[in-house]
Amino acid sequence: MSVSVVTGASSGIGEATARCLAREPGAELVLVARREDRLAALADSLGVPATWIAVDLTEPDAPERVLAHVGEHHDRLDLLVNNAGAAWRGTFGEAGWENVRRTMELNFDAVVRLTEALLPILRASAPSAIVNVASTAGRVARAGSGAYSASKFALVGWSDALHLEEKANGVHVGLVLPGFIETEGFPATELKAKAATRWTVSTPDKAAEAIFEAGPGGKAERYVPRPYALAAVTRILLPGLVRRVLSGGAASVMTTSNEADAAEIRRER
Ligand SMILES: NC(=O)c1ccc[n+]([C@@H]2O[C@H](COP(=O)([O-])OP(=O)(O)OC[C@H]3O[C@@H](n4cnc5c(N)ncnc54)[C@H](OP(=O)(O)O)[C@@H]3O)[C@@H](O)[C@H]2O)c1
């Protein structure tokens, strides 16, 4: 038996990850997000024992509620996938501290708080694993998504340290850094509309495979699609070149696509 908690399981990468994990023999799943109808429907369709907890992960009591749920329905925890997250686009001059605050609250603080609550049971179930879903934006920042990049840079740094710290306790910590993945929250409409940029957009199933590799597969770090690793390397080795590219025309497509779509969708929710 192998019990996994997947946050953000109601759509996109989290849903694909739940389906991917459910294909493993002996899998049991705990699905976490706010939209209960989606979680219930997914749990019913997986064909393995699956429970769900509908919770806003930014609420103060969310970590304790998830821990209590795991304790009530399962007696161990083998994998925690910290995937829930969102982007609200806006320059700092326009969107200010409030945009940074709400983005950090979900993409960083909520991840750290949930991990703190579940770490004792992960250690008790070792060998076990945590996968933190960051972003290529956690290595390369673009105009208009500073709040998002700040949250993902923070997640990357914290994950790297946690990886080293938890090795001795048998808890593997893997990091996944997606590029553009077409999902409900990040539709990548503009990138998909143009032949020149369509190739840059990948699928939730590919991201789920990367999460599997970084969790049960034992990989420390995985970009998805893999060539996005070049962007991170180039940012370190040739920072001037990256700044020039990101200040030029090519940048406007990249900066207005995913996060703009995401902001639009979130306004509607
Ligand atoms: N798609 C991309 O291009 C891309 C690129 C890089 C990184 N990522 C990262 O991948 C992760 C998944 O994103 P996605 O593309 O799959 O987007 P998505 O389809 O919008 O999924 C986001 C998930 O997070 C959940 N969520 C949002 N706010 C929440 C809250 N306050 N409490 C609990 N759950 C919450 C949503 O469920 P509810 O609305 O039901 O709560 C949903 O299940 C995110 O961390 C994102 O930053 C995505």
* Predicted local confidence at residue 78, as pLDDT: 98
Domain of residue 228, CATH code: 3.40.50.720
Return the exposure string of 143-161: e unless at least 16 CB atoms fall within 10 Å of the residue's CB, then b. ebbbbbbbbbbbbbebbee
C-alpha pair distances (Å), 94 with each of 90, 91, 127, 146, 260: 6, 5, 46, 11, 14
Does the Cβ of 257 fall within 6 Å of ligand 1?
A: no
Please give the pLDDT value at position 249. Answer: 53
Q: Is the pLDDT of residue 98 over 50?
A: yes
Question: What mean pLDDT is reported for the chain?
Answer: 93
Spatial CB neighbours of 257, under 8 Å, sequence gap ≥ 6: 180, 188, 189, 190, 191
pLDDT at res. 248: 77
Pick the atom of ligand 1 nearest to 38's CA: 40
CA neighbours closer than 13 Å in the CB half-sphere of residue 268: 8
Give the span between the Cα atoms of 167 and 261, in whole angstroms: 38
Which residue numbers are catalytic? 148
Under DSSP, the state recorded for 9 is T
Instruction: Summarize the confidence of residues 209-213 as an average pLDDT.
Output: 98
What is the residue with the minimal CA distance to atom 44 of ligand 1? 85
Give the closest residue (by CA) to ligand 1 atom 25: 8
Q: What is the pLDDT of residue 257?
A: 46
146 lines ligand 1 (CB under 6 A): no
| Pair of tokens at residue 65 | 């509620």
Ligand 1 atom closest to Cα of residue 185: 20
Pocket lining: 11 vs ligand 1, CB cutoff 6 Å: yes
Alpha carbon distance 185, 4 (integer Å): 23
- Beta bridge partner(s), residue 30: 5, 51
**Could you tell which of 5, 58, 103, 183 is best to mutate to test the pocket of ligand 1, judged by most ligand atoms within 8 Å of the CB?**
183
What is the number of structural domains in the chain? Answer: 1
- Label residue 189 by pLDDT band (50, 70, 90): very high
Angle between helices 110-124 and 62-73 (to 10 degrees): 30
- The response to whether residue 174 sits with its C-beta less than 6 Å from ligand 1 reads no
Element (H, E) at 78: none
Which residue type, as a one-letter code, is found at position 85?
Answer: G
Q: Name the more confident of 268 and 209.
A: 209
Quickly count: other Cβ atoms within 10 Å of residue 100's Cβ: 18
Q: Which atom of ligand 1 is nearest to the CA of 207?
A: 10
Shortest-distance Cα residue to atom 39 of ligand 1: 34
The tens digit of pLDDT for each residue in 123-154 reads 999 999 999 999 999 999 999 999 999 999 99
Question: What is the C-alpha separation between 137 and 148, in angstroms, rounded?
Answer: 7
Distance (Å, whole) CA 70 – CA 28: 11
Range(s) of the domain holding residue 252: 2-268
Task: Kindly state the DSSP code that residue 145 receives in the 8-state scheme.
Answer: -
Determine contact, residues 151/134, Cβ cutoff 8 Å: no
Question: Does the beta carbon of 10 lie inside 6 Å of ligand 1?
Answer: yes
Residue 267 has pLDDT above 90, yes or no: no
Angle between helix 239-247 and 229-237 (nearest 10): 110
Q: Is 6 in the pocket of ligand 1 (CB under 6 A)?
A: no
Quote the CA–CA distance of 182 and 194 in Å, as a whole number.
14
Please, are residues 128 and 170 in contact by the beta-carbon 8 Å criterion? yes
Q: Report the nearest atom of ligand 1 relative to the CA of 204.
A: 16
CA 265 to chain centre: 18
- 135: Cβ below 6 Å to ligand 1? yes
Atom 7 of ligand 1, residue of closest alpha carbon: 135
- Does the beta carbon of 57 lie inside 6 Å of ligand 1? yes
